[in-house]
Amino acid sequence: MEQAKDGEEERDGARAGRAGADFLQLDPAEAPRGGLAGWLAERLRGAIADGRLPTGSRLPATRALAAELGVSRGVVTEAYRRLSEGGQISGRGRNGTVVAAAPAPAPAPAAPAPAPPDGPFSADPGPDVFAELRAAPARYDLTPGVPSLSAFPRAAWLRAERAVLDGLSAADLGYGDPAGTPALRRAVAGWLARNRGIRAAPGDVVIVAGVSQALSMLVPVLAERGIDAVAVEEPGSMGVRRHLAGRGAATPPVPVDRHGIRVAALRATGARAVMLTPAHQFPTGVVLGGERRRELADWARAGGLVIEDDYDAEHRYDRPPVAAFRSLLPDRVCYLGSVSKLLAPALRTGWIVPPPELRGPLAAAKRDDDLGNAVLPQLVLARLMDSGDMERHLRFLRRRHRLRRDAMIAALAAGLPDARVHGAAAGLHLTVTFGGDFDDTALAAAALAEGVKTQPLSWHRRLPGPPGLVLGYAACSPGAIAEAVALLARARRGFPGPPRR
């Protein structure tokens, strides 16, 4: 009775003007008369059941929650006791009270419609095809574009993070410059000067959440200037092509040969902008040759804009470094880069170095889009770049990736001797093409059935060409690569081509 009386008095106090708790939006005024502890227990039990309080999450201290709700501490203690007896929560000393287990789940909803028989490798891949491929279970993942994530420099990152936090003022925790923190813009300018031959002032750099955001900002900025088509390489990245098209840009294809993009074909499209990967063309791996660079520079000086995606140029093994195209023609090149291939895609940090006339509009677009990237990771990344830790990490990655590339080349020679290998001198992937006339999406589907993820070359082309696969090697150990290629060879046996063993 005494406990009920306390509950009624506290409930009436709450109805007289208390606001309730931010925690689970609890409002004691909702409780029935005399049942405050039971109401609180049921609200907590419901939050545990529907996942708002997942297993392992920590509940507020009884004194703190009671004060926030404006009830006696005994009400909260009683609610916690009931949940503890039911096995939903447990006390862990200094670690407080934590969720131990959810109640038995409700009956499961009806099963979703079955996936297409070929999974992500249907005849017409949809807009979510890359997400579907990432989600597909497989023993080995040879999809391109991922570095050795196990090599992420955790110790160096933690050192940099501690150093940043030690020197951080309260003002530094406010909203930052939407175009990027001055520290990171300076660090990126220095990194590009040292590693890519680009001379840029910190004020020339705009920090973005990866190349995808850069394109999302760039397409409307170009449209305002009457540029509604961005020519793309053929073959070239399906993801980039779809991203540009999804923002409203036409994407006429321009063939690529062993010297890079064919500039005469670019002129024939009439497009005033072109998206290129000149240092290591995706997916073929060719380098834009000297004569083609001169032709492309002439095209750009006549009013064209080059959008340079320098996505993996730092990863080179058997050839001298190739300077970024922007280093030759800064006034006509919009340069894009990121740390996705240097550190990890999860950081979602990249940069644009635009021509002068686009700098202001792109900085304004970034401000309007999201007010700027998170400040703390920018400061940590700047510290990594300035300290030399990033260069040390890159040297380590080059050694590791070279070994993995060599393992893949050896495995392909042994298991798929009819495969022609392209783009081995740099990057994080190889492209292989095959003789014979068959659907390479069917081969990729067969490989997935054997436990290996890869991408069919046809995803990245719109014009006719030989069947092939794009094989990432950076994220797998040499032993795993050998096993994966052996499974690819087994999948390949069901397709036409030269006689196989």
Contacts of 335 (CB under 8 A, 6+ apart): 192, 198, 308, 310, 324, 326, 352, 353, 354
Assign residue 357 a region: left if phi > 0, alpha if psi is -120 to 50, beta otherwise? Answer: alpha
H helix runs in 270-374, sequence order: 290-301, 356-370
- For 6-36, the pLDDT digits (tens) are 444 444 444 434 457 888 889 898 888 878 9
Which among 226, 188, 136, 468 is positioned nearest to 339, based on CA atoms?
A: 188
Q: What is the mean pLDDT of residues 77-93?
A: 86
Q: What is the signed CA dihedral for 382, 194, 286, 341, rounded to 10 degrees?
A: -20
Check whether 392 has a pLDDT greater than 60: yes
Which among 219, 169, 157, 229 is positioned nearest to 380, based on CA atoms?
A: 157
Within this chain, domains 2-99 and 175-387 share the same CATH topology = no
Q: In angstroms, rounded to a whole number, what is the distance separating the alpha carbons of residues 142 and 375?
A: 33
- What are the counts of helices (DSSP H) followed by strands (DSSP E) for the chain? 16, 16
What pLDDT, on the 0 to 100 scale, is given for residue 267? 98
Which among 410, 420, 436, 434 is positioned nearest to 497, based on CA atoms?
A: 436
Dihedrals phi, psi of 9, to nearest 5 degrees: -65, -45
Q: What is the mean pLDDT of residues 338-363?
A: 96
Q: What is the rounded average pLDDT for all residues in the chain?
A: 90
Which residue spans within 79-209 are E strands per DSSP? 89-91, 97-99, 140-141, 206-208
What pLDDT, on the 0 to 100 scale, is given for residue 499? 38
Pick the CATH number of 175-387 from 3.40.640.10, 3.90.1310.10, 3.40.50.1100, 3.40.50.300: 3.40.640.10
Among the residue ranges 127-136, 295-304, 412-421, 479-488, the one predicted with the least confidence is: 127-136
- For 143-163, the pLDDT digits (tens) are 998 899 999 999 999 999 999
Which among 477, 473, 455 is positioned nearest to 134, based on CA atoms?
A: 455
Going by pLDDT thresholds of 50, 70 and 90, the confidence category of residue 104 is low
Going by pLDDT thresholds of 50, 70 and 90, the confidence category of residue 114 is very low
What pLDDT, on the 0 to 100 scale, is given for residue 17? 41
- For 26-67, the pLDDT digits (tens) are 989 888 887 899 999 999 998 888 888 888 889 999 999 999
- For 399-420, the pLDDT digits (tens) are 999 999 999 999 999 999 999 9
Contacts of 161 (CB under 8 A, 6+ apart): 376, 380
Check whether 4 has a pLDDT greater than 90: no
What pLDDT, on the 0 to 100 scale, is given for residue 292? 97
% of the chain beyond a pLDDT of 90: 75
Q: In angstroms, rounded to a whole number, what is the distance separating the alpha carbons of residues 250 and 246?
A: 9
What pLDDT, on the 0 to 100 scale, is given for residue 274? 98
Q: Please report, for the chain, the start and end positions of each structural domain, with discontinuous segments joined by +.
A: 2-99, 119-150+392-492, 175-387
Greatest Cα pair distance in the chain: 93
Q: In angstroms, rounded to a whole number, what is the distance separating the alpha carbons of residues 270 and 431?
A: 30
- For 423-462, the pLDDT digits (tens) are 999 999 999 999 888 999 999 999 999 999 999 999 999 9
Q: Under CATH, which number does the domain 2-99 receive? A: 1.10.10.10
We find that the CATH architecture of domain 119-150+392-492 is Alpha-Beta Complex (3.90)
Q: What is the mean pLDDT of residues 276-282?
A: 96
pLDDT: is 356 or 23 the higher one?
356
